[in-house]
Amino acid sequence: MTTTTADDLAGLLLRRRQSVRVGSGVGRSAVTDAAVVVLEAELADRGHLLTAPLRRALTALSVEDLAATGRALLAGVDALLGSDRHHAPLFRRFPDEIPYQHARAHYTDLVVARLAAQPHQPCMNCAGTTRRVRALGPCAHLLCDDCVTKIDDWGCCDECCVWYACPICEQRYETDGPTDPWLDTGAGLGGDGGEVLRALRVAEPGDAAAELAALLARRTPLNPQDHDDLMLLLGQLDPAGAADWLPECIPLRESKALALASLLDLPEVRPLVARHADTATDVLRILVVRSGGDPDLLEPPRLRGLPRPVRRELLGLLDGLAFARLVEDMARHPRAWKRVGEILHPFEHAHRHARVALAFAVLRETRIRDGALGEVLLAEAARHEEVGLAGDRLRVITWQGRVEAALARWDVPAAVRLLGERPGELLRRLDLLLARSGEPTLPDAVRGALAEALPGAGPGPLLGAHGRMKVRAVPGHRRVFFPRGRVTKAYAVEDHRPPLPARVAGRAGELIEAEAVRRLAERAGERYDVAVLDASLADLPVPFAERASAASLVAVPRGSSLPMPADSETVRLFLHWTQPKGTRVDLDLSVALYDDLWRFVGLCDYTHLEYAGGAARHSGDLTSAPAPHGATEYLDLDLPRLANSGVRFVVPAVISYNDVPFDELPDAFAGFMAVEGEERAVYDPRTVRQRFDLAGDAKLCVPMVVDLRTRHAWWADVTLATKGTDHDVWRYRGQLGRMGNDLLDTFQPCGRTTLWDLACWTAAARTDGEVYVRGRGHVLWGYRRAEDEPRADFALRVRDGWEPDALSAEPELADRRALLALLHGELAGAEGVASGTAYRLYPGPVDAAPLERVTAGDLAGWLGPA
């Protein structure tokens, strides 16, 4: 395991929990009070806010500790937004020279402006939000109406003046008579288009352990950021104490390998490996991670040798596995297993572990010769009917081979019988079975096998089959594939398969949905009194190919349709990179432009700095990026002017001109901001809407495809294969257009299972009260399940927008267990819930509510079989 530094752990807690680790204090002083005001101004300038406990903890630090903590906090926030590379803090000499009055005025201006634009800001005292959150004058600390009452109760001086005490900075302010001490922000008239400040809180001792437990409990593949975070958290633990921190079950096999690899060399905890590793591939992943590789098995490293006791225990573990599965697992990764054989020496102990020796003999195609080894192998082969002798070599007819043979001869009943043995494989081949049956209704054989297989299938096959039933019922689509790899590539082929009959696909989809709702209802977990769902989640597909997704500021599932910034007509793309020492790297930020029919109409890049008189405008070409400052390029898109010039689709691209792959760069990221008017080309972290890292062995990245007609961006996060060098967008204009067309055709609605499907299933299965849907007008649509109504039918009513049972201005959340599934983390009254669960794509005040935060992967993981 790698060693975890304090800075790494602090950055993780800030990114995942918005919490800050603060050391012990020595007491407040005038200097620290003034310095925290400056820090507040710095953070507000970056869209962040101190909660009252965190502010008090900071003011109690010594001047030296506050300086170190403040600098580290600002650096961490800047790293989240990508502004740490080339922007100095607002007050450059903090806290050596503290421009107190300047900071106070600047902080007040920022808070008032944010509050006027967006009234749903978090209260700094209770970390919640109500409809009315206001700023106390003159300190401008944000407080809600509940906290106002508490302040009023804290007293007055005499009849001629009133004293108000701010619970945040603990200062008292005198006003003349009973006048309102609040800044006049016009918050009651503000819109909802402004930015919500992100509240920072004091890190609790158990925050790191809670994040570790959540990551180890994940049932869906980890994206690169989650993978790195899990490695970081495991790195701070003592492997010898694994019995205390290792959970009873680790569902995700790659996470299991990361957690167990360090235990293999410790005799006192080595038995935990045998308890958790239940397949041959688990053993292979553990050996790869122990040797410094990644558990995805894409590029296994040279394996480290094993002590004799470890070899004996691993051979015993493998010998206890079913032979058919052992051989199949080895056949999936033959080269890696041959390397494992070199360090396990299975033939040395063939008499003791004959099953393992036979599996390696089949893998290696070992010649059977006279002698003790040949006798052991032939005797063991006689015990397994799938093993035969072809000449002087052993051959195995695998289960997969029998399935393929049955499908090749269109023997659907035989294929169904075989696939019924493995529920996940049945669901993966479901559309093929239905197509080859040729029946206009769901075949009885498939229906029966499906009914038996569904309870045992994992969430991935279940959701994948549900999505394919949608696609196969709609003709005319091209098939887009996303091969497994370190970076996401996509290729498309014509889909010549006839569509499934609507009745067949629809009935199979209904059975899958009913199983999903049944699982969610019966599985142990929190029950809810009320649920609030955002209908716009229908634009977010269930995450897929997460292992190769880019680490980003906002974890957007690939294929999501997101509205472009509503508060700006101009979108500013940005690219920043730093080249390694001794290597010149020339990255280029470009866009390719297409019309309604995906015909290429123009471009904007370093060769054409303007398009359509400035509708697209490039900041200029930088051909190197030496450390420490690197280089930055901008490209402004005036969306209305581009649309008026005949452009329909915009495909941004980041291209390595001189063919240096992104993973060789010490630092490279891109993203986009929302800017107002003709602002100069600066990196303003307050306007950053998305930032993502450039990584992997790729030279051309396409982050998204923008449709100017609908003003939506489809998040793609894919790479394009390149050849040669001197790459530019003109050279790849045809490939970019074809890929953009194929991706949008695939990502269009009804192409995949969405988070909206998941949210409706979960709400119908686990909510015993009202389910509210927002996004279908100016009021919430309320639904309540009838006493005898099946939960799957209730989920259908909510999902498909049937007539609501009631309309409501706002949900009743106070003192209730709530399920929230939202696009933006803003919901009035959320701070009043007693407990519950919240998913949100974009952060907001609900992050401070007493709710368990979950990810899209967690929602999908709840569908795991019991």
Give this prediction's pTM.
Answer: 0.76
Supply φ then ψ for residue 261, to 5 degrees.
-60, -40
**Residues 657 and 777 occupy one common structural domain:** no
- Residues 84 and 823: their CA atoms lie apart, in Å, by 28
pLDDT single digits (tens) 526-553: 899 999 999 999 999 988 777 767 778 8
Lowest mean pLDDT among 327-336, 412-421, 656-665, 687-696: 687-696
Q: Residue 533: what are its φ and ψ, rounded to 5°?
A: -120, 145
pLDDT at position 678? 59
The answer to whether residues 686 and 834 belong to one domain is: no
Beta-strand pair 587-594/600-604 = antiparallel
Q: Please check the confidence at residue 699 and state whether its pLDDT lies above 90.
A: yes
- 595 close to 647: Cβ distance less than 8 angstroms: yes
Residue 100 inside a domain? The answer is yes
Contact (Cβ atoms closer than 8 angstroms) between residue 163 and residue 155: yes
Give the Cα separation of 127 and 163 in Å (integer).
24
* pLDDT exceeds cutoff 90 at 819: yes
* Confidence band for 680, pLDDT divided at 50, 70 and 90: low
**Residues 861/249, Cβ–Cβ less than 8 Å:** no
Q: What is the 3-state secondary structure (H, E, C) of 502-523?
A: HHHHHHHHHHHHHHHHHHHHHC
Main-chain phi, psi angles of 584, to 5 degrees: -85, 130
Bond preceding residue 459 cis, omega within 30 of 0: no
Q: Say what the pLDDT of residue 288 is.
A: 95
Query: What integer pLDDT is reported at residue 171 of this predicted model?
Result: 67
Among 171-175, 376-380, 413-417, 761-765, the least confident range: 171-175
Note the Cα 594 to chain centre separation in Å: 30
Q: Are residues 771 and 739 in the same domain?
A: no
Residue 442 in any domain: the answer is no
- Residue 539: closest CA among 567, 558, 565, 516: 558
More confident residue, 461 or 86: 461
- Res 1: pLDDT: 43
CA distances to 159, 231, 288, 483, 648 from 745, rounded to whole Å, are 72, 37, 39, 18, 15
Q: 616 and 558, same structural domain?
A: yes
Regarding whether 779 and 743 lie in a shared domain, the answer is no
Per the DSSP assignment, residues forming a β-bridge with 655 are 588, 700
Please provide the average confidence, as pLDDT, over all residues in the chain: 84
Residue 490 φ then ψ, to 5°: -135, 140
Last residue of some domain: 710, 732, 747? 747
pLDDT for the residue numbered 177: 35
Residue 764 has phi, psi (to 5 degrees) of -65, -35
Question: Is there a domain that residue 476 lies in?
Answer: no
Backbone angles phi, psi at 587, to 5 degrees: -95, 150
Report pLDDT for 191. 36
Q: What is the CATH number of the domain that holds 570?
A: 2.60.60.30
Three-class HEC string of 243-266: HHHCCCCCCCHHHHHHHHHHHCCC
Cα 760 from Cα 53, distance rounded (Å): 37
Asked which of 747, 774, 802 is the last residue of a domain, the reply is 747
**Residue 787's domain spans which residues?**
528-538+753-861
Please report the DSSP string for 767-831 in residue order.
Answer: EEEEEEEESSSSSEEEEE--TT--HHHHHHHHHTTPPPSEEESS---TTSEEEEEEEES--TTGG
Same domain, 713 and 768: no
Task: Based on the fold, state whether residues 741 and 787 are members of the same structural domain.
Answer: no
Residues 714 and 765 grouped into a single domain = no
Distance CA 596, CA 710 (A): 12
Q: What is the pLDDT of residues 463-476, one digit of tens each?
A: 999 988 887 756 66
Q: Are residues 827 and 698 in the same domain?
A: no
Residue 166 lies in a domain: yes
Give the pLDDT score at 360.
94
Number of domains observed in the structure of the chain:
3
User: pLDDT band at 277, cuts 50/70/90?
Assistant: very high
Closest listed residue to residue 90, CA positions, set 690, 689, 684, 691: 684
Residue after which a domain boundary falls, among 169, 202, 235: 202
Least Cα distance to 674 among 641, 650, 639 occurs for 639
Residue 616 forms part of a structural domain: yes
DSSP 535: G
Number of Cβ within 10 Å of residue 748's Cβ equals 14
What pLDDT shows up at residue 498?
79
Query: Is 193 a domain residue?
Result: yes
> Which residues, 6 or more positions from 809, have their beta carbon under 8 angstroms from its beta carbon?
779, 780
User: 196 and 81 in one domain?
Assistant: yes
Residues 677 and 533 in one domain: no
Residue 769, pLDDT above cutoff 70:
yes
- Of 842, 843, 829, give the one whose Cα is nearest residue 144: 829
Q: Is 92 within a domain?
A: yes
CA distance 465 to 740: 25
- 52 occurs within a structural domain: yes
Percentage of the residues of the chain whose pLDDT score is greater than 70:
88
Pairing of strands 852-853, 835-842: parallel
Domain match, 733 and 777 both: no
pLDDT class of 52 with cuts at 50, 70, 90:
confident
